[in-house]
Amino acid sequence: MATLTLIQAVNDALKTAMRTDPNVLVFGEDVGPKGGVFLATDGLTKEFGEKRCFDTPLSEDGIVGAAIGMATNGLKPIAEIQFQDFIFPAFDQIVSEAAKLRYRSGGQYTCPLVIRTPYGGGIRGGLYHSQSGEAYFCHTPGLKVVIPSTPYDAKGLLLASIDDPDPVLFLEPKALYRSVKGEVPEGRYTVDLSTLRTAREGTGVTVFCYGAMVPVCLRAAEQAAAKGIECHVVDLRTLLPLDEEGVIDAAKRTGRVVVVHEAPRFCGFGGEISAILAENCIEWMEAPIVRVTGFDTPFPNTLEHHYMPDDRRVLDAVEHVWNY
């Protein structure tokens, strides 16, 4: 079993899928001979040729629109949007076309399409290369939204997404591309979509997180443990469709909940977790649900380290709900 970074695990998943299914193809801006700006597609054009891994014009709506056409005609396209910040020209194609195809055709057609894109901060990318827009897409029935936080999950979730008959937005936390390593099995395996991962067992405070916030919450949990507070850290992995039963069970486990994401607070995904728990298990709650998030401002450059939640802010929230 190899030890890979998250970006290497993504690359391994793409190669595994393309080797086992000739209908899988990859395209986007600079993904061909260059291998992508983060090298996620490194070596694909060399191994599989330019008909299966190729560059496109700088047109996100064209990339996704072409992918939808391919998906409805027997292919399994994997479209890369170079940064999630650039995905909005394709918003109508994703929300109004790909996500609606099964419903509007009465189940006659599906859209087995994966849209991969790096998201979030952590690399000092500034205003247009650091946004976290997952909540926009989680408001879209018919679409799946998946976010890995470990190399093992990155490969397994991506292969599961490629197998899925419906469109999947696969958001990759660029801050973790090379900062985390883990064991990744060779060959093909999948991680079921819509399942949670327990990143750390605990009975004191439940902490929900995903993407680049998972390592942050694990560090905070270590500091909390030194103060006698054992955190139960849950990696959501798939935001849509969410394992709501798993979320409720994890919250009931402790009766105290902190939700962490780097996207802005207002209308962020943490609000949905809070609402689910308020509707389903308020009688189990021993303290108010606390959100630790980015701020309701455009993403800054020089102040990035203040904007993104860190272990100190998470620890403060954990202590607050513990001592309530």
Q: Catalytic residue positions?
A: 129
Q: Rounded to an integer, what distance in angstroms lies between the CA atom of residue 68 and that of residue 94?
A: 9
Among candidate residues 311, 314, 312, 257, the one with its CA nearest the CA of residue 288: 257
DSSP 108-165: S-----EEEEEESSSS---TTS----HHHHHT-TT-EEE---SHHHHHHHHHHHHH-S
Q: Rounded to an integer, what distance in angstroms lies between the CA atom of residue 232 and that of residue 213?
A: 14
Please enumerate in sequence order all residues whose Cβ is within 8 A of that of 222, keeping only pairs 6 or more positions apart, or say none.
none
Q: Rounded to an integer, what distance in angstroms lies between the CA atom of residue 147 and that of residue 124?
A: 20
∠ CA(85), CA(151), CA(4), 5° rounding? 115
Please enumerate in sequence order all residues whose Cβ is within 8 A of that of 9, keeping only pairs 6 or more positions apart, or say none.
151, 152, 154, 155, 182, 184
On whether the CB atoms of residues 256 and 321 are closer than 8 A, the answer is yes
Q: Rounded to an integer, what distance in angstroms lies between the CA atom of residue 31 and that of residue 283?
A: 51
- Work out whether strand 231-235 and strand 197-200 pair parallel, antiparallel, or are unpaired: antiparallel
Burial category of 305 from C-beta neighbours within 10 Å (exposed 0-12, middle 13-18, buried 19 and up): exposed
Burial category of 103 from C-beta neighbours within 10 Å (exposed 0-12, middle 13-18, buried 19 and up): exposed
Cis before 241 (ω within 30): yes
Helical residues (DSSP H) of 171-212, grouped into ranges: none
**Amino acid sitting at position 297:** T
